[in-house]
Amino acid sequence: MKFSIIYEAQMVDTSRANEAQVFQDMVDQSVLAEEMGFDCIWSVEHHCLTQYAHLSAPESFLAFVAGRTTRIHVGHGVVCLPFKMNHPIKVAERVATLDLLSRGRLHFGVGKGGTIQETGAFDTKLEDVTPQVDESMYMIPKMWQEGEFEHHSDLIDIPPRPIHPKPFQDPHPLMYMACTREEALTIAGSRGLGALVLGFSGPDEIAKKNAIYRKAYAERKPEDQVGFRPHQHLAALCPAVILDDRDRAKRIGTRGQRFFAESIRYWYAGGDKPSVDDLDADVQMAAMEKSKEQIVAYLGQERIPVTDAATSNYHIEEDAYGSVEQAIRYVQRLVDAGADEILFLVQMGTIPHEVTMETIRNIGKYLIPHFKDKLAAAAE
């Protein structure tokens, strides 16, 4: 069982001074996470999504974190693989370089960048994204194995070239795929990739997604394998604010999740800008439910199927924000649902830095030892 943190670099105040402070805060949080026994720091990649995600250059952020730490791993969750966003040769070079410098502490997740706001900035049509991502994820591991690589297709032409450097891990870092939709879980499993389930799904939904993923992995075919290091691994997102004052934690956590949900709705579905009001948890939850209803109505108008991928951000679990005891109970439900790794999401836009630091300390001091001791006892 692994315990990690994932970052979006969300913020309410987008001034240059505060943007700089948020990035410094994330580094301080990552250093503390290593001290507290966490396993990995993950970073998303998003572009042009004001407030929702300012982590547009995860390779720089993760390299800086790796340089400030000695043990904790760093993970791309994920690199966007449309060719104009990240050319496959550049991805192979950057990932291998950081894997070398971190001495094998790198994890490599792949994905799309799913809005026209992002792909359009790189002159890429949404309908061209999936085939480019598919082709790129198959190419990159081959670049790390072959002395001279070449590739010719209708989508991209790469003449014979040596690609340097090769990664520290042999044959290459573990690979993952971002999974919100059920189809993505099937693809990840069938290709022998780890699954990063990035959504506020809750344990019941994680159990359903886990079953889909495990079945696809068990039935995978050799010719569908991406890379040369298949592994079965499901990482589940876990929003968390863990404080001694459980009511305060719930108030802060629900406010942060509402900001998260409404900021992504602003970019994905044309909603209003996110609220930053400091309201009681029950009021925040009622507002989120109303926003969810608006999302469902929008999808209906656009004739888009309503799935957990579209609505999970509005799902709040009773124990996600609260005391250490509540957090242990909630994480246990995720473990029972099949999660191999818990991706704690604390740094949501309205959550203060000091609250994030206290949550990291509580996880490291109480929650991680609880589960490590439990696993050790089971192993004995």
Helix axes 58-68 and 88-101, enclosed angle (nearest 10): 10
Higher pLDDT, 210 or 263: 210
Predicted pLDDT at 163: 98
Lowest mean pLDDT among 24-33, 89-98, 126-135, 315-324: 315-324
Q: Taken in order 127, 151, 112, 124, is the CA torsion positive or negative?
A: negative
Q: What is the signed CA dihedral for 322, 328, 330, 332, rounded to 10 degrees?
A: 180
What's the confidence (pLDDT) of residue 25?
Answer: 98
Least confident range of 64-68, 120-124, 199-203, 209-213:
199-203
> What pTM, to 2 d.p., does this model score?
0.93
264 pLDDT band, cuts 50/70/90, is confident
Q: Which two tokens stand for residue 167?
A: 């990664």
Share of the chain above pLDDT 70, in %: 92
Phi, psi of 146 (to 5 degrees): -95, 140
Q: How far is CA 267 from the centre of its chain?
A: 18
Which residue pairs, CB below 8 angstroms and at least 24 apart, start in 291-300? 291/258, 291/261, 291/262, 291/265, 295/265, 295/269, 295/271, 298/269, 298/270, 299/269
Q: What per-residue confidence (pLDDT) applies to 37?
A: 98
pLDDT digits (tens, 9 = 90+) for 179-233: 988 999 999 999 999 999 998 889 999 999 999 999 999 999 999 999 999 999 9
pLDDT in tens, 71-87: 999 999 999 999 999 99
List domains and CATH numbers for the chain.
2-244+320-379 (3.20.20.30), 246-312 (no CATH)
Write down the mean pLDDT value for the chain.
92
Backbone angles phi, psi at 22, to 5 degrees: -60, -45
In the block, residue with structure tokens 């790198």: 106
In the predicted structure, residue 380 carries a pLDDT above the cut 90: no
When computed from its CA atoms, the radius of gyration of the chain, rounded to whole angstroms, is: 20
In this structure, of 175-179, 299-303, 312-316, the range with the lowest mean pLDDT score is: 299-303
Helices (H), the chain: 16-35, 58-68, 88-101, 116-119, 126-145, 182-190, 203-218, 246-269, 281-301, 308-311, 324-336, 353-362, 368-379
Please say if the pLDDT value at position 271 is more than 90: no
What's the pLDDT at 288? 67
Check whether 355 has a pLDDT greater than 80. Answer: yes
Percent of the chain exceeding pLDDT 90 equals: 78
CA 41 – CA 179 distance, rounded (Å): 18
Residue 369 C-alpha from the chain's centroid: 24
Q: What integer pLDDT is reported at residue 292 of this predicted model?
A: 64
Instruction: Report the range of poorest mean pLDDT among 86-95, 149-158, 297-306.
Output: 297-306
The single residue listed with the structure tokens 């490291």 is 364
Please answer whether residues 76 and 45 qualify as being in contact, where contact means their C-beta atoms are separated by less than 8 angstroms.
yes
Mean pLDDT of the 91-118 span: 95
CA distance 274 to 49: 13
User: What pLDDT sits at residue 217?
Assistant: 98
